[in-house]
Amino acid sequence: MKKIIILSVILFVGLVVRSQSNQTTDNPELLKDALMGYFIGIENKDFTKMKAVTTEDFVLYENGRIWNNDSAFMNIRRHLPFTVKYTMDKFKIYVDNLSGDMTYVNHADFVFSKEGKVSLDWIESATFRKIDGVWRMNFLAATEKK
């Protein structure tokens, strides 16, 4: 009887350990790559790139406005010509095997042909989903930093 109990405990512990090892986390840098891809897409006005790193139902909340990729593209076109360079830091990232989220600070330097230079800072958060083995951003919230 004692042997059966010991074997049962060993089997149970083995199953628990195996179950936990299957719930691996992914590399946080992969989420960062998706995020950076989106902003590089904005810098280059590359709508294909922006769409490639987001989900079909992507939503952006920015200072009380709600955008999707199509409305974001229209807004970018409306402000042409301009250049922009983004700099991000203070990343806090959580990722597991199918989803992830992050918070960070974003700084942008815009140069518009008529208005001149504008610098803005945001506090941002984003969520991500792994779809067919690829990380895609599905939500981005940006609040202008005062």
pLDDT at site 146? 83
Does 3 reside within a domain?
Answer: no
- Please state, in angstroms and as integers, the Cα–Cα distance from residue 116 to each residue in 54, 87, 112, 113, 119, following that order: 31, 19, 5, 6, 10
Whether the predicted pLDDT of 7 surpasses 50: no
Whether the predicted pLDDT of 21 surpasses 70: no
Does 88 reside within a domain?
Answer: yes
Residues 56-76 have pLDDT tens digits of 999 999 999 999 999 999 998
Does 135 reside within a domain?
Answer: yes
Does 11 reside within a domain?
Answer: no
Whether the predicted pLDDT of 14 surpasses 80: no
Whether the predicted pLDDT of 23 surpasses 50: no
SS3 sequence of the chain: CHHHHHHHHHHHHHHHHHHHHHCCCCCHHHHHHHHHHHHHHHHCCCHHHHHHCEEEEEEEEECCEEECHHHHHHHHHHCCCEEEEEEEEEEEEEECCCEEEEEEEEEEEEEECCCEEEEEEEEEEEEEEEECCEEEEEEEEEEECC
The predicted model scores a pTM of: 0.80
Per the structure, how many domains does the chain have?
Answer: 1
Does 100 reside within a domain?
Answer: yes
Mean pLDDT of the chain: 87
The proportion of the chain whose per-residue pLDDT surpasses 90, expressed as a percent, equals 70
Identify the domain containing residue 123 by its residue range: 26-144
pLDDT at site 113? 82
